[in-house]
A and B are shown apart, each in its own frame.
Chain A
């Protein structure tokens, strides 16, 4: 999509959305989301909300894995920290802070806490790389979930049985329906996506990319690995914390088992399926990761009805489908759906001339 894209100033070249197609796409998305929030049916709103929450977390992991090149298999822990922190702050401050202001205080606090833990978990990244880091983050995930389940903290976290969450109240506007919540999720999701797109255009984002491409070379160019690797960890953890906060607001109850390894793997899988290091990658990935299990559920419902045997088969099948998708993409299209979409758009753009 590079034709008819004349730029005569540097400012035009440095814009976040640097061509008309991107601008048009974003405005169209905003309009579509607004219409969907108003008129979409309840079931679709529920699915879309799940996608939106997951999307924010995947955008975060994209900053770390896609742009900085650090692998993490433990980002479920940061989602957990965000979700629990928002709930616990909400409960502790219930009488002290007016309810209408609560989310404006507890969400930033939760995000900051997730980022702080992110820095802590990221510390090994200075000395180890690749799979060592993957295992270190995996270990962090197990430890965080264990601490949440531990009896010692059960008065605050609710332990194994989980904890009831609060209804968000934005300056007196209680978001007690899923539709209202989806509105909030859509706005936050869109803003975080644009913020990520903006990030890679800045000095920090370019430093991340330099580290991904070759970290020693980046260091020689004057990029402090310590600072930028930790910054990347903090940013991605903050995104995941934000996703966690919305998760807690969206569901009536949160359980520690929702944030276990399965979630961390889901996040990474969504990123790989969608396409790493691309802004739209997380969007495509999240759509697949949420839709495929849902489709299997619908198909099963149509084929087998509600018999008990079908229910027993469904969960393993969803799991297998998920693994097969991840493996297939790695084998056949390691750059993800984004690459496929790019190819289609390129072909459409050049039609009827050479494709490729």
Chain B
């Protein structure tokens, strides 16, 4: 039972990150009706940007030393007589890294926002009004461009990146078994869920969000009501690429940085379809379910089988409910 709870919690934590990635795909779909196959590669760029600003830039000779490792006098004093592996030491380590973590996050956000805007402007805008097939295929072409570009730009071997939150182990007993968690994973989960909630609230309540929903409902009507549809498009892409930047930074700390980060996009795409392309709630549920199922598979059948869990579940769900768990059924006219 304790083991079960441990794996369930691991699964929920992974699911929250899936949800954060998924929110980017759903936002773009809601506004532009384009399913972004290359979203995973946007995330990979986010991860690499985080790596650049949190590791490479502070490592340069011209960078101030406090950027790489902030060591004020009071911290050295506090650190002096701490035992090994104490939570306070973990927090202090994190504080020392804080400047470069913040720089990394800020850099990743800004660069990814620019990237998202460029993609929208150069590739998606000329295709407005074209067939959906063409738009989807453009994002497929984008996969090759982005993954090739990443290999071209970041040729250096990726080092480890600083955790976003203090990485102290948390242990407690539940149902007679020790549950073992890392602080950073918990914080990642809260950040992901908070962002998810924030975006849902943004789309639901703010003026910009209502514009997105109106465009989703009917583009030409939205136009005639004075909503600038191109602006909505670029807003959606920027939203997707910035959430992707945060997700990328989190994934970089969890899984390390490599070009294969892009593959995450495909399993998340499966999750999005499972939840229903235009439903935030459905996607959240699907992300959590897949996260937990993956953890359970890992526990019972080994890590390899966990890889294909999203794909198998999406096939099952699509045959059972073609528009996902909570997706809106399209009405088609002949």
Contact = CB atoms under 8 A, between A and B. Distances in A.
Given A139-B270, A312-B155, A330 B134 contact: yes
A187 to B, nearest CB: 32
Interface residues of B, number: 45
B334 A127 contact: no
Contacts of B315: 124, 136, 139-140, 143
Contacts, number: 131
B143 A214 contact: no
A326 B137 contact: yes
Given A73-B140, A142-B266, A334-B134, A124 B332 contact: no
Interface string B277-315: 000000000000000000000000000100110111011
A139 B268 CA distance: 11
B177 interface: no
Contact of A331 (B126, B132, B273): B126
Nearest to A264: B140
A149 to B, nearest CB: 8
A315 interface: yes
5 contacts: A139-B270, A139-B312, A139-B314, A325-B141, A334-B130
Contacts of A312: 155
A138 B213 CA distance: 29
A131 B314 CA distance: 13
A316 B151 CA distance: 6
A323 interface: yes
B5 interface: no
Interface stretch (A105-113, A265-273, A346-354): A265-273
Nearest to A146: B308
B273 A132 contact: yes
A130 B132 contact: yes
A265 B334 contact: no
B141 A324 contact: yes
Nearest to B142: A323
B148 A320 contact: yes
Contacts of A150: 304
Given A139-B315, A143-B311, A319-B147, A268 B269 contact: no
B75 interface: no
Could you say which interface size class chain A belongs to? 35 or more
Contacts of A4: none
A132 B332 contact: no
A319 B151 contact: yes
Given A130-B132, A131-B132, A134-B136, A327 B332 contact: no
Interface string B114-158: 000000000100110011111011101111111111111001000
B319 A127 contact: yes
Contact of B138 (A217, A313, A319, A331): A331
A317 interface: yes
A58 interface: no
A310 interface: no
A246 B270 CA distance: 32
B106 interface: no
A214 B273 contact: no
Given A135-B270, A139-B315, A146-B308, A320 B149 contact: yes
A123 interface: yes
Interface of B: 35, 37, 123, 126-127, 130-134, 136-138, 140-152, 155, 266, 269-270, 273, 304, 307-308, 310-312, 314-315, 318-319, 322-323, 332, 334
A250 interface: no
Contacts of B123: 327, 331
Given A317-B148, A325-B141, 19 more contacts: A123-B319, A124-B318, A131-B35, A132-B323, A134-B37, A135-B35, A135-B270, A135-B314, A138-B311, A139-B310, A316-B148, A319-B147, A320-B144, A320-B145, A322-B141, A327-B145, A330-B137, A330-B141, A334-B134
Given A132-B273, A135-B314, A143-B312, A331 B127 contact: yes
Which DSSP category, helix, strand, loop or mixed, fits chain A's interface? helix
B207 to A, nearest CB: 29
Nearest to B145: A323
A134 B132 CA distance: 12
Contacts of A140: 311, 315
B319 A146 contact: no
Contacts of A317: 148, 152
Of all A-B residue pairs in the complex, the 4 with the closest CB atoms, nearest first, are A323-B144, A319-B148, A326-B141, A139-B311
Interface in A130-175: 130-132, 134-136, 138-140, 142-143, 146, 149-151
B334 A135 contact: no
A284 to B, nearest CB: 17
A321 B269 CA distance: 25
A324 B152 CA distance: 15
A313 B137 contact: no
A214 B334 CA distance: 8
Contacts of B131: 334
A323 B143 contact: yes
B308 A143 contact: yes
A55 interface: no
Given A131-B132, A331-B126, A272 B314 contact: no
A216 interface: yes
A224 to B, nearest CB: 18
B141 A327 contact: yes
Contacts of B322: 124, 127-128, 132
A240 interface: no
Given A130-B133, A316-B152, A135 B144 contact: no
A243 interface: no
A209 interface: no
A325 B270 CA distance: 27
A53 interface: no
A158 B318 CA distance: 32
